[in-house]
Amino acid sequence: MFQEIANFITEYKYIIMPILVWVFIQLFKFIYDLVTTKKINFKRILQAGGMPSSHSGVVVCLTTMIGKDVGINSPLFAVSLIFSLVVMDDAAGVRRAAGKQAKLLNKIVETPGLTGVQMHEKLVEVLGHSPKEVIVGALIGLIVGLVF
C-alpha cells in the first residue's frame, strides 16, 4: 500500500507537489487569520493575497522541480521560468494595484453624500502581494521543489 502511494506521488509529482504547496500556504494563512482575529473565515482558504504568496510558491516549486529533473537548459524549464516570472510580476504588480484601487473605491462609495452609487457588497481589497510576500512564497516553492 505504501509503495503504491509513493509510486503515485512520484509519477504525478509535477501536479501533487505544487498543489500541496498551495494547500499548505493557504492553510497557514487561514490559521494565522484565525489566531490574529479570533474569527473563523473560511473564505481565507481560497482568497488571494497575504503573506506568503501561494501563487509564487506554486510556480516556483514547479519550475524548480522541472529544472532539477530535465535541466535548466531545457525548453521546458525556460517556459516554466518565464511563466513563473509573469505570475510573480502579476501578483506584485497588476493584482496589487487592483487591490489598492478596490480599497479606494470602497472608501469613496462609503463616504456619505459623496456619491449616489449603492453597492451590494464591498470590492475585494486583498488581491495582490507586496514584493516581500512574493519573495517568501517563492522561497517556500524553491525549498519544496529542491527537497522533492
Q: pLDDT digit of tens for each residue in the chain (148 aa)?
A: 889 988 998 899 999 999 999 999 999 888 888 888 888 877 767 777 778 899 999 999 999 999 999 999 999 999 999 999 999 988 877 656 666 666 666 666 666 655 555 666 665 555 567 888 889 999 999 999 999 8
Alpha-carbon distance of 108 to 103, in angstroms, equals: 9
SS3 at position 85: helix
- pTM listed for this prediction: 0.76
Copy the grid coordinates of residue 68. 532539477
Q: Are 95 and 128 in contact (CB under 8 A)?
A: yes
Place of cell 516581500: 132
